[in-house]
Amino acid sequence: MSAGPAILVTGGAGYIGSHVVLALLDAGLPVVVLDDLSTGRAEAVPPEVPLVRGSTGDGPLLRATLRRHRVGAVVHLAASLVVPESVARPLGYWRNNVANTLALAEACVAEGVTRLVFSSTAAVYGIPDRLPVDEDTPCRPINPYGASKHAAEGLLRDAAAAHGLAVVALRYFNVAGADPAGRAGQRTAGATHLIKVACEAALGLRPEVAVFGEDFDTPDGTGVRDYIHVTDLAAAHVQALRHLAMGGDCAVLNCGYGRGHSVREVLRAVERAAGTRLPVRLAGRRAGDPPALVAANGRIRSTLGWRPGFDDLDRIVAHSLAWEGRLRGTGAQLRRGLPR
């Protein structure tokens, strides 16, 4: 794709959004970010990128932004995404993940924006009958986060059928890591992502790492997840936009590596990278957590030509640890000997 109309990235000041913005800039594409900064950080947006502060539920603001910045396509990342929180606060998740997606779709249709890449999740599958999970697996979400994302997929599918809005929905598995060049990473205070929590504990910034459940039906009793490097995920968004720009069909695509790692395996990888033992506390299962989720990724490979470049748990952990070190001013020491 060559430079032309801007790409609007909703949630572009967040963890994944900031990496998607960098990937788009690296591809030579003009970008504008819309973010209410409830969880995102303004400093995560590069200075050359316009930042519009506001909600994806604000229809007039959306339409004005689409017009003012000559937006030609949207990457919709703004969402609520913490599973236990969704169980405790379901109405907020339905509002942000469904009602606000509806407002965005209405604005796109009204302003003639015909391409949208949607941030979905493996949580739509619930507890699948078999692994790895392909895109034809029945969706039976077991928490409001997954249910709200599945509903948003449905409304976008209907918008595509009725209004010509071409949509690629990317179902993320467990996103982790940081930009290898150190330009972006996970900034959210109190984040619940396992690898970030473990890296913070390795640096003495958290007193412990809680292991939520050790009695799952998995090889070592702890939950198994397919961890995907955030840079590979960001590249998938650029390729999805390219697919739509070339007239490609609507698609729903898993974003994962096709291989799972248990919580204990992740903790050992962080200990290897940091050269220290982690303080671990065993805790009960969290509401809404499935035992295992691993992606079948043949469809994204064939549809988008996606080829991951960072498919290695130790590299994911190393980049995460280096980012945490940079945030705390110890990056130079942590970078020594870490894989790029």
CA 258 to chain centre: 17
Q: Could you tell me if 237 and 117 are in contact, meaning their C-beta atoms sit under 8 angstroms apart? A: yes
Question: How far, in Å, CA of 195 to CA of 206, rounded?
Answer: 13
What pLDDT shows up at residue 330? 53
Q: At what angle do helices 194-202 and 263-274 cross, to 10 degrees?
A: 30
User: CA of 266: how far to CAs of 25, 273, 330, in Å?
Assistant: 31, 11, 22
What pLDDT shows up at residue 3? 54
CATH architecture of 194-225+258-294+309-335: Alpha-Beta Complex (3.90)
166: pLDDT strictly greater than 50: yes
335: pLDDT strictly greater than 60: no
The average pLDDT across 80-109 equals: 96
247: pLDDT strictly greater than 60: yes
The average pLDDT across 66-88 equals: 95
The mean-pLDDT minimum among 54-58, 107-111, 246-250, 327-331 falls in 327-331
Domain parsing of the chain, residue ranges: 6-176+227-255, 194-225+258-294+309-335
pLDDT over 90 percentage in the chain: 89
339: pLDDT strictly greater than 60: no
Who's near 22: CB < 8 A, 6+ residues apart? 46, 179, 183, 184, 234
Question: How many CB atoms are closer than 10 A to CB 70?
Answer: 11
340: pLDDT strictly greater than 70: no
Per-residue pLDDT tens over the stretch 31-69: 999 999 999 999 999 999 999 999 999 999 999 999 999
Which of 61, 103, 63, 56 has its CA nearest to residue 80? Answer: 56
The average pLDDT across 126-154 equals: 96
334: pLDDT strictly greater than 50: no
Which of 50, 123, 67 has its CA nearest to residue 93? Answer: 123
When the candidates are 1.10.3720.10, 3.40.50.720, 2.60.40.1760, 3.40.50.300, the CATH number that belongs to 6-176+227-255 is: 3.40.50.720
Q: What is the model's pTM?
A: 0.93
Per-residue pLDDT tens over the stretch 209-240: 999 999 999 999 999 999 999 999 999 999 99
pLDDT over 70 percentage in the chain: 96
257 catalytically annotated:
no
In the set 15, 93, 145, 257, the catalytic residue is 145
Strands 251-255 and 6-10, sheet pairing: unpaired
Which of 340, 316, 188 has its CA nearest to residue 257? Answer: 316
2: pLDDT strictly greater than 60: no
Burial of 185 (0-12, 13-18, 19+ CB in 10 A): buried
Torsion angle (degrees, nearest 10) of CA 173, 318, 230, 35: 110
Q: Could you tell me if 98 and 152 are in contact, meaning their C-beta atoms sit under 8 angstroms apart? A: yes
The conformational region for residue 281 under phi > 0 = left, psi -120 to 50 = alpha, else beta, is beta
Per-residue pLDDT tens over the stretch 267-310: 999 999 999 999 999 998 987 788 999 999 999 999 999 999 99
Helix, coil or strand: residue 32? strand
Sign of the Cα torsion 59, 62, 68, 74 reads negative
Q: Could you tell me if 226 and 258 are in contact, meaning their C-beta atoms sit under 8 angstroms apart? A: yes
